[in-house]
Structure 1
C-alpha cells in the first residue's frame, strides 16, 4: 500500500514537472530570484514596522535573517550566471553580422543594443564576483564595476522595452488593416478569406499578449538598476515589489515550458 502510493507519487505529473523545472538552470535562477526579491520586500515591510513601532529583538532578528537570505541568493545567482556574457557577446556579434537579415531595422538595432547591454552587465557582474565575492582577483574600484554592470542592464532593459513598444505599434497597425480586410470578406462571403483572417487574428492576439508581457516585465525590472544608479529616487518598496512580480512571471514562463 505504502509502496504503491510512493510509486504513484513519484510518477505523478506534478513531480515530473518539478523535476523538469529544477533540471533547468534558468528555472533554478528564477526560483532564487523570486526568493531574493521577496526577501527584499519583506525586509522593507519589517523596516516600515520598525519605523512606526520601534525596534524589538524579534524585528531586528528578522531584518538580519532577510539580509542574509538576500545576500546568499544574490551570490548563488551570480555564480550560476558567471561567464554567460560570452553567450550574449556571441548573440550580439551574430546579430551585427546578419545586418538586420532583411527584417525591421528598428527591431534589429534595439535587439543588438539589448544583447550588448546584457553582455556588459554579465561581464561586469562576473568580474565583480571574482574580485569581490571570491577575492580571486584584485579590483581597484569594485563600486565602479557594479555601476558599469547596472548601466549595462539598464540600457538592455530600456532597449527591450522600446522594442516591445514598437512591435506593439506594428501589431496595432496590422490589426487595423486586418479589420478592414475582415469587413470586405464578410461582405463578399469569402469562406477561405474568413478562415485566413481568423488565423491571422489569432496570431496577432498571441503576439500582442507576448509583447505586452515582455513590455511589462522590462519596465518593472528597469526600476531596479534605475534605483541602484540613483537615476530616479524610486521607492524601495516599489522596487522590491517590481522585482518580486517579474521574478514570479519569469518562474511561471519556465514552469509553462516544463509542463509542456
Structure 2
C-alpha cells in the first residue's frame, strides 16, 4: 500500500498539470488565509507575507504553463473529430478559448517579470473573457452529459416498471425476477455515484466561473470567497490528476 502511494506521488509530481494544481491550491489557500487574518485584524505582518506569497505563486504558475496554449490547440485538432456534435463543439471551442486565455496570460507574466511593458489590466480582462467563455462551454457540456445520464436512467426505470407489471399480471414469457424500482432519491444517488467524473467536473467549473466573473466585474465577491472556490476547484483538479478514472472522457 505504501509503495503504491509513493509511486502515485512520484507519477503525480512528474506531471506538469499535477505541479500546477498543487501550486494553485497553495495560491488560493494563501488568499483565503490572508483575507481571514486581515478580517480579524490580527497578525498583519503574516497577512502581508501570505499575500506576497500568493502573488509569487500566481506568477510561478504562469511560468509553469508557458507554452501550454500550443498543447490546447493540438488537443482541439483531435477533438474536432468527435462524432457527438455537442461534445465536438463544446470541447473543441473550449480548448481554443483556453489556448487564447493562456496566450494572453503569458503576456501578463512577461509584464510582471519586467521582460516587456504591457497593459496588464487590458490583457488580464481579455484573458478573463476567454477563460469565462471556456468555462461556459464546459458547463454546457456538463449539463448535456447529465441530461444523457438522466434520460438513460429514466428508460431503465421505465423498462423495470414494465417488467414488474408483467409479473403482476402473471405473464409467462418473462420469468426473471424484476429488479427494484428506485425512488427519486435513490435514482439521484445512483446517477451521482456511477458518474463521478461528470459531477466532479461540474463542481470544478461552477467554482471556477466565479473567478473570471469577478475579474470582469460581473459579480463582486470577497478575496475569501475567491479563496474558497479556488481551493475547492484545485482539490477536484488534484483528485482527477491523481486518479485517471475520475477524469471526464472525452476531454
1:199 alignment partner in structure 2: none
Does the aligned pair in 1 maintain the 2:192–2:199 contact within 8 Å?
no
Q: 1:136 to 1:207 in 2, by over 3 A?
A: farther
1:102 alignment partner in structure 2: 83
Match of 1:226 among 183, 191, 213: 213
Q: CA deviation at 1:46?
A: 0.8
Segment of structure 1 superposing worse, 169-178 or 182-191: 182-191
Q: CA deviation at 1:125?
A: 0.7
**Any unmatched runs of 5+ in structure 2?**
168-173, 180-189, 246-251
Structure with the bigger percentage of helix: 1
The residue matched to 2:114 in structure 1 has which SS?
coil
How does 1:246-257 map onto structure 2 within 5 Å? 246-257=233-244
2-structure distance, mates of 1:167, 1:158: 14
1-structure distance, mates of 2:120, 2:135: 23
Count of residue pairs brought into register by the alignment: 227
2:148 alignment partner in structure 1: 170
Match of 2:158 among 167, 176, 180: 180
2:98 alignment partner in structure 1: 118
2-structure distance, mates of 1:28, 1:12: 21
Q: CA deviation at 1:169?
A: 1.2
Match of 1:66 among 50, 62, 65: 50
Task: Tell me how large the CA RMSD over aligned residues is.
Answer: 2.5
* Residue 238 (str. 1) matches residue 225 (str. 2): yes
1-structure distance, mates of 2:194, 2:79: 22
How does 1:82-93 map onto structure 2 within 5 Å? 82-93=66-77
Does the aligned pair in 2 maintain the 1:120–1:148 contact within 8 Å?
no
1:153 alignment partner in structure 2: 131
2-structure distance, mates of 1:171, 1:77: 35
TM-score with structure 2 length normalisation? 0.81
* Residue 25 (str. 1) matches residue 12 (str. 2): no
TM-score with structure 1 length normalisation? 0.78
Q: CA deviation at 1:111?
A: 1.6
**Any unmatched runs of 5+ in structure 1?**
1-10, 51-55, 195-202
2-structure distance, mates of 1:230, 1:110: 25
Q: 1:179 to 1:25 in 2, by over 3 A?
A: same
2:182 alignment partner in structure 1: none
Does the aligned pair in 2 maintain the 1:41–1:237 contact within 8 Å?
yes
